[in-house]
Amino acid sequence: MPSLLVKNIDHLATFDDTRRELTNGAILVRDNVIEAVGTTGELTHLQADETLDLSGHIVMPGMVNTHHHMYQNLTRVMVQDDELLVWLKTLYPIWSELDDDAIGISARIAMAELIHSGCTTSSDHLYILPNNCTLDATIDAARDIGLRFHAARGAMSRGESQGGLPPDRCVEKEDAILLDAERLIGRYHDNARHSMNRIILAPCSPFSVTPDLMREAATLARKHPGVHLHSHLAEELFEEKYCHEIYGMRPVEFAESVGWLGPDVWFVHSIFMTSAEIDRFSETGTGVAHCPSANMRCGQGIAKIREMLDKGVKVGLGVDGSASNDTSNMFMEARLAMMLQRVAPHHYLSEKPGGRGGFGGTPKALSARESLEMATRGGAALLGRDDIGYLAPGMSADFIAVKLNQLGLSGTQRDPLAALVMCGPFKVDYSFINGREIVRKGEFTGFDVEAAMSAHEDVMNRIYRQ
């Protein structure tokens, strides 16, 4: 098996169980697994087929993106100033023109952006599949570019004629959804450690599917080890109203009624949750994907991330779709996650007895390291992975490096790790995924970005002409 010694790392942030941060660090990789982590002095005697000198760089685990709609980069910067309902109703007709070529090239563009911004593992929630679109196109894209990928088989089955939000032409029959989900699991799902592809079952939302589909999807997923469940929940007040009117309960109560709380479930957004509901997530091991950029872009609100973390809820970060963000940058999400918690009114608590926050108070906010931990270990936990998210012997060889000698990082020598969040966003100079060098000196080693961008433009123009 080929081996690689990465040495002379100025600052190595492992995010391991003791949260070690090493000066002059080193990592030994054998094939696709980390064999040793320590200082260069401790590891320099070890033999390796190749060596990589990363003096002048900071290295950390690759980040984990826990929510995305990759196809949406075909409809960026549209519906810039309207609420989510208007946004959805405007974009649904355009998305109804998607085909497999559109799904595949949009995924490649999204994955390239993610990798450049420090992501080494991503999920993608593909819930609109018109014109015989398939999840296979995104899986092929991930294999081509080298991204570790959790493909979420989304679905919408309740169209406007059945009291749902999406147009009827954008929904599928529920028996066909479940049959395709079974096919995808059988063909692609790999629950082994270090696997590069897993399948997720992901009905879109309470207002676009029926309770029967939620129940059947949960039953199907739990027949197969490692197949997790994902959906939108508590994203908007109109969703809360919908659940009250249709089901007579709040969204979290509805989720529990269809078997959708548990350690194999994570929801995206989860903004409008009570403290009792956050307690219930903690008790059941249910997780949350936090998407600060999209929540701000759509004016939805601020999720209670500090409270969730304090209560032991699993929380990861997601970029969300590129029509509601409008980018795919994990460093930016980490930065905004930290900043947004610091302006959340419900988090302003004074250290002074009886204090009420505001000026002179101390925000019980989120630190840079906590934000990066959500982006690494937190995301891994949501996806049910015990082999990614930190750097230690036996873990997958997924790590990134950023050059310290660059504009934007000058003067950050006191804490270069915090600088990746507080001074960014940045692009990576090196990215290793599953032991394979994907980015070297800021450039992809085996992916033609220019060709992909040209193909993306052609597909976008074709869809808009229809």
Q: DSSP labels for 383-445?
A: TT-SSSSS-STTSB--EEEEESSSTT-TT-TT-HHHHHHHS-----SEEEETTEEEEETTEES
| Reported confidence tier of residue 90, pLDDT bands at 50, 70, 90 | confident
pLDDT level of residue 358 (50, 70, 90 thresholds): very low
The closest of 62, 110, 155 to 389, measured between CA atoms, is 62
3-state secondary structure of 55: coil
| Choice between 42 and 354, residue whose per-residue pLDDT is larger | 42
Tell me the average pLDDT across 360-382: 86
- Over residues 421-443, mean pLDDT: 96
Angle at 113 between CA 433 and CA 384, to 5 degrees: 50
Task: Answer with the residue of higher pLDDT: 63 or 208.
Answer: 63
Extract the tokens encoding 1.
């098996």
Question: What average pLDDT score do residues 219-248 get?
Answer: 94
Q: What is the DSSP letter of 261?
A: -
Q: Is the pLDDT of residue 388 over 50?
A: yes
In this predicted structure, the answer to whether residue 362 has a pLDDT above a threshold of 60 is no
Contact 154, 119 (CB under 8 A): no
Lowest mean pLDDT among 216-220, 231-235, 281-285, 350-354: 350-354
Decide: 26 and 44 in contact? Cβ < 8 Å. yes
C-beta of residue 102 within 8 angstroms of C-beta of residue 446: no
Sorting pLDDT into bands at 50, 70 and 90, what band is 297?
confident
Domain ranges of the chain: 3-62+387-444, 63-382
Quick: pLDDT tens for 98-143.
999 999 999 999 999 999 999 999 999 999 998 889 999 999 999 9
Query: What is the CB neighbour count within 10 angstroms for residue 191?
Result: 12
Angle between helices 136-145 and 100-116 (to 10 degrees): 40
pLDDT > 70? residue 359? no
The top-level CATH class assigned to 3-62+387-444 is mainly beta
- Residue 353, pLDDT above cutoff 50: no
**Domain 63-382 in CATH: superfamily?**
Metal-dependent hydrolases (3.20.20.140)
Residue 324 has pLDDT above 90, yes or no: no
Other Cβ atoms closer than 10 A to 255: 25
**Type of residue at 284:** T
Contact by Cβ (8 Å): 433, 420: no
Residue 69 CA: distances (Å) to CA of 179, 284, 322, 325, 348: 22, 27, 7, 10, 33
Q: Per-residue pLDDT for 443 more than 60? A: yes
Considering the chain, what is the average pLDDT of its residues?
92
Cα-based angle 83, 154, 61 (whole degrees, multiple of 5)? 90
pLDDT the model gives residue 273: 95
Residue 169: what are its φ and ψ, rounded to 5°?
A: -70, -10
Residue 360 pLDDT exceeds 60: no
Contact in structure between 451 and 94 (CB atoms under 8 Å): no
Angle between helices 211-221 and 174-188 (to 10 degrees): 20
